[in-house]
Amino acid sequence: MSKLTLAVAFGAGYVLGARAGRGRYEQIRAKAQKVAEDPRVQAAADTAKEKAGEVAATVADTAKVKAGEVASTVAETAKDKVGKHASDEDSTP
- DSSP labels, 4-66: HHHHHHHHHHHHHHHHHHHHHHHHHHHHHHHHHT-HHHHHHHHHHHHHHHHHHHHHHHHHHHH
pLDDT score at 36: 87
Mapping DSSP to helix (H, G, I), strand (E, B) and coil, where does residue 1 land?
A: coil
CA distances from 31 to 2, 18, 42 (A): 43, 20, 15
Decide: 7 and 1 in contact? Cβ < 8 Å: no
pLDDT score at 27: 82
Instruction: Give, for all 93 residues of the chain, the pLDDT tens digit.
Output: 577 788 888 887 877 777 667 777 678 788 889 988 999 988 988 998 899 999 999 999 999 999 988 888 888 888 888 877 655 555 555
0.85 cut: is pTM over it?
no
